[in-house]
Amino acid sequence: MTDRYAVVGNPVAHSKSPRIHAAFARLTNQDLSYGAILAPRDGFADAVRAFIAAGGRGLNVTVPFKLEAFALAQRRSPRAEAAQAVNTLAFSGEGIFGDNTDGAGLVADLTRNLGLSLAGTRILLLGAGGAARGALLPLLEQRPALLHLANRTADKARALGEEFAGRAAGGCLESGGFAGLAGRSFDLVINATAASLAGEATPLPAGVFAPGSLAYDMMYGGETPFLSAARSQGADRRADGLGMLVEQAAESFLLWRGVRPPTAPVLAELRGA
């Protein structure tokens, strides 16, 4: 019988995950189907249980259910524990396993697709919500010289910084508000705020983008407000989050199927569309 997977969210109709996983299945000759489930906002757990009862093997979880998925998982990966959120569920006789592949997807996009080597670099991570939290551990594992966490609400960045301080090799993690960025410059600036969703750009002081730096928006959709602001502030390279989307999907596929699918042809297909 064909193994069943799906993405669950609300809304979910816009999701590119069914298309991405169908391409992965084709490229790796895996016999699986992958659908989309619109769960009512108060009905996430019921939707998951119904999917399991129908023989489902795994789910990707998107907005607004990543925290509920974390709570529902009976066992969780260390990276899910660090993120305090789950975007991938796997079902087996041992129950519900929760993982978080978002941060690994970000790092894979930066290193595999964009050719960055993060060791020894200066990284600025903007935001202190779920997206930033999920990125912290995978970024720290790349051993940057500095990871500076900046948020509109400085206290939230500081709290998150304190929480992850023990995971930062050589005390390379700093945190604070946007005002503290004056006079600083970075090799990589990652937007993990929700500002682009609202059509806004985070106000950054001049000089934040070092020569040759990359501006990266976790949101996808070409030239986001963050990326166009970055361009006018002199960021030499810019990338949206489409590669991260494909790479986090590949990490989920690996967890479920034991094979990491090729991502370059899938990313090229999505970019061409």
User: In the complex, which residues of this chain contact ligand ATR (CB under 6 A)?
Assistant: 127-132, 151-153, 156, 193-195, 198, 200, 202
Specify the residue, 82 or 131, whose C-beta has the smaller distance to ligand ATR: 131
Report in angstroms how near the CB of residue 21 gets to ligand ATR at its nearest.
Answer: 22
What number of other Cβ atoms are within 10 A of residue 152's Cβ? 15
Nearest to 100 by CA among 252, 263, 267: 252
What number of other Cβ atoms are within 10 A of residue 28's Cβ? 15
DSSP-derived pairing of the beta strands 75-76 and 56-61: unpaired
Report in angstroms how near the CB of residue 90 gets to ligand ATR at its nearest.
Answer: 22
Specify the residue, 130 or 138, whose C-beta has the smaller distance to ligand ATR: 130
Report in angstroms how near the CB of residue 156 gets to ligand ATR at its nearest.
Answer: 5
Specify the residue, 174 or 261, whose C-beta has the smaller distance to ligand ATR: 174
Specify the residue, 22 or 72, whose C-beta has the smaller distance to ligand ATR: 72
Specify the residue, 152 or 231, whose C-beta has the smaller distance to ligand ATR: 152
Report in angstroms how near the CB of residue 66 gets to ligand ATR at its nearest.
Answer: 8
Cβ-proximal residue to ligand ATR, closest one = 129
C-alpha to C-alpha distance for 130 and 114, rounded to whole angstroms:
24
Please, are residues 139 and 147 in contact by the beta-carbon 8 Å criterion? yes
How is the beta sheet containing 186-191 ordered, strand by strand?
173-176, 146-150, 122-126, 186-191, 209-217, 237-239
* Ranges of H-type helices in 8-89: 17-28, 44-53, 66-72, 78-83
Provide the annotated active-site residues: 66
Report in angstroms how near the CB of residue 132 gets to ligand ATR at its nearest.
Answer: 6
How is the beta sheet containing 32-38 ordered, strand by strand?
32-38, 3-9, 56-61, 88-92, 95-99, 75-76
